[in-house]
Amino acid sequence: MDPLTAEVVDLIGTMVQRFHQEYDAAAAVHHLTGAQARVLALVSGGPMPMRRIAERLKCEPSNVTGIIDRLEAQGLAERRSDPADRRVKLAVATGAGRDTATRLRESLDFAREPLAALSEHERRALRDLLKRVIDPRPAD
């Protein structure tokens, strides 16, 4: 690996580590684990099949079941049958869950100030580069 690539990899690693530390701390304020907060963020965007949550988090479906159990116990999420296929269970954020997910996201300061220091053009360029790194397939 060339030195520039190694430096970029190290910087990305540092950024990911700092993000997870802050995310976990913000989640704890809301009496959630980092994993619970990530699931809540996913389902606050709309109903999501439990299997898809597991795929997005790169974990076993049984782990998602336990996380949803704990979110349900706190009144932040619920399970519903998929109207298109009653065998499929959807996880859905409650109103309190959506509010909690919004407050949690708004409390993440890690990137807010550094990103605010970049111009809109720089933020767009950074976004576009990150998208290319995440999914290197050419856009149609």
pLDDT digits (tens, 9 = 90+) for 47-63: 999 999 999 999 998 99
Cα–Cα distance measured from residue 27 to residue 38, given in angstroms and rounded to the nearest whole number: 9
pLDDT below 70 — which residues of the chain?
111, 138-140
pLDDT for the residue numbered 97: 97
The candidate with the shortest Cα–Cα distance to 103, out of 20, 44, 15, is: 44
Instruction: Record the pTM.
Output: 0.78
The 3-state DSSP class for residue 80 equals: strand
pLDDT at 108: 82
Domains observed in the chain: 3-108 (1.10.10.10), 109-140 (no CATH)
The encoded tokens of residue 65 equal: 């079941």
Only one residue has tokens 């998602």, namely 64
Pick from 17, 43, 50, 54: nearest CA to 100? 43
SS3 32: coil
Q: List phi, psi (to 5°) of 80.
A: -140, 155
